[in-house]
């Protein structure tokens, strides 16, 4: 009996074998669950046994632990990173036509929530290397309607907070940090949850610290804001069925809290692993790429490891063929989005953001990537740029 062997080049065979051995997951939530399964299952079961699904005592326990972790005086959990931003602006009593300065190179929720408050998002372009708001352009955007500066800690790295805070102090403005992507990052050794007047985060599953549904938190050192936010997340209620403010249903449910309580003790190690993985990417990726730049007084939580490339579509397709998922955060800056047409912006208004939108590409990033996987990604990038 004769056996038929199809003709296949050594190169293709090697690539095929590589792919078989390298299954690369972008965020790898399944492996994460398997690692912490016992604690997560035990915590969830305890909530099921008690049926204390809304504002169970675990919520307060998590909030105390988040305060310890971040150094912020108050941590107030809530239903999402989006609602965290709304709660922050509600606590500051943002009014229609107030102006809030932010970046157009971010996830929609940053500016969407400003618009939901009927305030006006005022965009300021970004730094080309960190992708964060360019603090040198902020003062020119301030008017007598400006109330808040809202930097975003994009991809996990805080913005230029010293300068931003100094501008805010000079013009009597408040600072809200959209820290949805940066839980655990630092700026001059403080976490970015412990900066600004209010800082927010998201516990969306794929965020650096994620729960297994929607979730978020608001952080502040201001007692008045904390008191108001706690009321706002329960329909502005100060006593059962007595409503001081127009608020919202913005609580984090106890089952999500159970997941976070199981995961939080592992988070310092996860952050350390992300630092290592990011460093290995930077050391092994071809120098022709523009690698992420982290300023010396900051650390990133590495929500994303995002590079700039010229041939993005082709490279993404090649990487996909090799079993490597990638993502684009974000393909269109907010000033060009249809929902913000009423702000009358045009192509060219924020050129650094527009260029970034055409070039950025995020590589797989999670705490469980092995050295071999990082090297495999780097080698496939090298082959295809």
Ligand X SMILES: Cc1ncc(COP(=O)(O)O)c(C=O)c1O
Q: Which residues bind ligand X (CB under 6 A)?
A: 80-82, 106-107, 109-110, 152, 178, 180-181, 202, 204, 214, 216
- The smaller minimum CB distance to ligand X, of residues 299 and 322, is found at 299
Q: Kindly state the smallest distance separating residue 214's Cβ from ligand X, in Å.
A: 6
- The smaller minimum CB distance to ligand X, of residues 167 and 334, is found at 334
| Cβ contact 306:285 at 8 Å | no
Write phi, then psi, for 298 (nearest 5 degrees).
-135, 160
Q: Sort residue 384 into left (φ over 0), alpha (ψ -120 to 50) or beta.
A: alpha
Using Cβ positions, the residue closest to ligand X within the complex turns out to be 81
| Element containing residue 130 per DSSP (H, E) | none
Of 177, 185, 126, residue with least CA distance to 334: 126
Query: What's the burial of 45, exposed, middle or buried (CB within 10 Å: 0-12/13-18/19+)?
Result: exposed
The CA distance from 142 to 135, in Å, is 12
* Both structure tokens of 316: 């993404």
Q: Sort residue 22 into left (φ over 0), alpha (ψ -120 to 50) or beta.
A: beta
**Dihedral of the CA atoms 260, 263, 266, 270 (nearest 10)?**
-90
Q: Which residues are CB-contacts of 296 (< 8 A; sequence separation ≥ 6)?
A: none
Q: Kindly state the smallest distance separating residue 71's Cβ from ligand X, in Å.
A: 21
Q: Kindly state the smallest distance separating residue 85's Cβ from ligand X, in Å.
A: 6
Q: Kindly state the smallest distance separating residue 202's Cβ from ligand X, in Å.
A: 3
| Cβ contact 365:25 at 8 Å | no
Q: Which residues are CB-contacts of 73 (< 8 A; sequence separation ≥ 6)?
A: 67, 220, 221, 222, 223, 226
Of 155, 150, 84, residue with least CA distance to 120: 150
* Both structure tokens of 44: 């969830």
Of 173, 207, 201, 203, residue with least CA distance to 102: 173
Q: Kindly state the smallest distance separating residue 11's Cβ from ligand X, in Å.
A: 39
Q: Kindly state the smallest distance separating residue 178's Cβ from ligand X, in Å.
A: 5
- The smaller minimum CB distance to ligand X, of residues 178 and 354, is found at 178
Q: Kindly state the smallest distance separating residue 111's Cβ from ligand X, in Å.
A: 9
- The smaller minimum CB distance to ligand X, of residues 327 and 378, is found at 327
Q: Kindly state the smallest distance separating residue 149's Cβ from ligand X, in Å.
A: 15
- The smaller minimum CB distance to ligand X, of residues 106 and 373, is found at 106
- The smaller minimum CB distance to ligand X, of residues 86 and 138, is found at 86
Q: Kindly state the smallest distance separating residue 269's Cβ from ligand X, in Å.
A: 23
- The smaller minimum CB distance to ligand X, of residues 92 and 209, is found at 209
- The smaller minimum CB distance to ligand X, of residues 56 and 215, is found at 215
- The smaller minimum CB distance to ligand X, of residues 174 and 329, is found at 329
């Amino acid at each position: 009996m004769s056996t038929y062997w199809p003709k296949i080049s050594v190169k293709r065979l090697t690539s095929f074998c590589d792919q078989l051995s390298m299954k690369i997951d972008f965020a790898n939530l399944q492996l994460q669950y398997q690692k912490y399964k016992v604690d997560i299952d035990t915590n969830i079961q305890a909530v099921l046994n008690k049926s204390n699904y809304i504002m169970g005592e675990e919520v307060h326990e998590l909030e105390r632990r988040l305060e310890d972790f971040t150094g912020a005086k108050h941590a107030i959990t809530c239903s999402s990173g989006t609602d965290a931003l709304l709660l922050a602006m509600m606590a500051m009593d943002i009014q229609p036509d107030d102006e809030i300065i932010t970046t157009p190179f971010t996830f929609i929720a940053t500016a969407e929530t400003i618009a939901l408050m009927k305030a006006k998002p005022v965009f300021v372009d970004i730094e080309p290397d960190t992708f964060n708001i360019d603090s040198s352009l902020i003062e020119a955007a301030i008017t007598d309607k400006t109330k808040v500066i809202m930097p975003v800690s994009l991809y996990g790295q805080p913005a230029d907070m010293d300068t931003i805070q100094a501008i805010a102090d000079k013009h009597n403005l408040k600072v809200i940090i959209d820290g949805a992507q940066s839980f655990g990052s630092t700026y001059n050794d403080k976490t970015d949850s412990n900066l600004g007047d209010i800082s927010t985060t998201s516990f969306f599953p794929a965020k650096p610290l994620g729960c297994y549904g929607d979730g978020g938190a608001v952080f502040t050192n201001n007692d008045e804001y904390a008191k108001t936010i706690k009321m706002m997340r329960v329909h502005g209620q100060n006593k059962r069925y007595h409503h001081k403010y127009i608020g919202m249903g913005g609580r984090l449910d106890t089952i999500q809290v159970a997941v976070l309580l199981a995961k939080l003790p592992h988070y310092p190690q996860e952050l350390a692993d992300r630092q290592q993985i990011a460093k290995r990417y930077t050391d092994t990726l071809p120098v022709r790429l523009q690698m992420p730049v982290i300023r010396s007084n900051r650390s990133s939580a590495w929500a994303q490891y995002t590079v700039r490339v010229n041939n993005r579509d082709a490279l993404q397709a090649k990487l996909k063929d090799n079993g490597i998922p990638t993502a684009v955060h974000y393909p269109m800056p907010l000033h060009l989005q249809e929902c913000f047409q009423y702000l009358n912006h045009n192509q060219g208004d924020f050129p650094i953001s527009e260029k970034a939108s055409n070039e950025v590409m995020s590589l797989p990033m999670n705490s469980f990537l092995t050295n071999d996987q990082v090297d495999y990604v780097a080698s496939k990038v090298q082959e295809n740029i």
